[in-house]
Amino acid sequence: MTSHSLFLLPGDGIGPEVMAEVEKLVHWFSKQGIARFETDRGLVGGSAYDAHGAAISEADMAKAQAADAVLFGAVGGPKWDKVPYEVRPEAGLLRLRKDLGLFANLRPAICYPALADASSLKRDVVEGLDILIVRELTGGVYFGEPKVIGTRDDGAHKGEKYAIDTQVYDTYEIERIARVAFDLAKTRKNKVSSAEKRNVMKTGVLWNEVVTRIHQTEYPDAALDHVLADNCAMQLVRWPKQFDVIVTDNLFGDVLSDVAAMLTGSLGMLPSASLGAPDARTGRRKSLYEPVHGSAPDIAGKGYANPIAMIGSFAMALRYSLNLGDWADKLDRAIAAVLAQGIRTRDIASDAMPANASTSEMGEAILKALQKIA
């Protein structure tokens, strides 16, 4: 049996609590002889800062580079609000994305029928929703240079500060994320919506042009539409089921995926996969799996956190990195079964279905449901 190396970076806040539920699953898979895992763990975010004064150490970066998959919890919290910008907790995550070349971020938003009442939108708007946001993750305004705060040295505002962020996209960056979106669309309804702001931004004009060309030359059978990113946000809350795959840049993808998360009932439901280009020799992609939710410092350590986004991220690792797609399907079915049974953490509770499970109770219920399906 091949052995898979997993590098766990639980991070801060609720990260370690939700990661603990994935570790139970990893342990079960090994014990059952389904797959063999070698796990190692490191520090990222505030916990790494406290230990070594950096948002991630060089040693842990090397381990992340070498692993078959990185599982990431969450970073940040008020404790580190005042640390220098370069070593703030989020810098660890951004460095992992950049240095591992994880340009494609897949964020599926699925509304399980059992959770339609937990959403702030009406049941018929969200029930049965199944969309996929493909977010470009290593370019755009997150990484563009210059990125500075300076001081005006002349003119009417002399002595005042100014700030610059830079949005840059190269053609190859748009081409490769478009291909990921069209390839994934083929396995679904084969419909891609490309979101940008070509009415205001040059990067939007180029984005539109390149996605159109990739469609015409490589994926003529797919349906493609272009939507302005602000309109896309509006359409997501008006009638989200019109979408299948949404492809968009780093910043719009960040915002649109939080909107999409609420369609599923809770931010605690959304998993994600971040993938690099396939290695020319082995075909293997570098990868990192993380829940879309943050570190939720207000509820950390209380057992309130919903582990489903983290467990769903592990399911994505089984599918995209570990060649265990059938087990990913089973795990997704176990999550659906537990929700259908009425098991609820606080974030997905409703009047009809009050909260009745802690983080570990939810994790254990999913494991039990998986054992039954297996």
- Residues near Mg ion, by CB under 5 A: 254
Q: Which does 54 bind (CB under 5 to 8 A by kind): Mg ion, ligand IPM, none?
A: none
- Please state, in angstroms and rounded to a whole number, the distance separating the CA atoms of residues 163 and 232: 28
The end-to-end CA distance of the chain, in Å, is 19
Whether 241 is a known active-site residue: answer no
**C-alpha angle 96/316/184, rounded to 5°?**
95
Q: Nearest CA to 136 among 237, 225, 257?
A: 257
Task: State the virtual CA torsion across 58, 61, 63, 67 in degrees, nearest 10.
Answer: -170
Residue 165 lies near ligand IPM (rule: CB under 6 A): no
Q: Nearer Cβ to ligand IPM, position 73 or 369?
A: 73
HSE, side-chain direction, 13 A CA sphere, residue 59: 7
User: Which one from 117, 165, 230, 329 is the annotated catalytic residue?
Assistant: 230
Q: Is 154 a catalytic residue?
A: no
- 93 binds, options ligand IPM, Mg ion, none, Cβ within 5 to 8 A by partner type: ligand IPM
Say how far apart CA 305 and CA 346 lie, in whole Å: 8
Residue 347 interacts with ligand IPM (CB under 6 A): yes or no: no
CA atoms within 13 A on the CB side of 299: 19
Residue number with CB closer to ligand IPM (26 or 93): 93
Binding residue for ligand IPM, selected from 9, 70, 93, 366, defined by CB under 6 A = 93
Using rule CB under 6 A, residue 254 touches ligand IPM? yes
Least Å from the CB of residue 279 to Mg ion: 28
Given the residues 142, 169, 289, 304, the one annotated as active site: 142
Q: Which does 308 bind (CB under 5 to 8 A by kind): Mg ion, ligand IPM, none?
A: none
Active site residue 258: yes
* 220: CB partners within 8 A, 6+ apart: none
Q: Which residue sits closest to ligand IPM, CB atoms considered?
A: 90
Active site residues: 142, 197, 230, 254, 258
Give residues in contact with ligand IPM (CB under 6 A). 90, 93, 254, 292
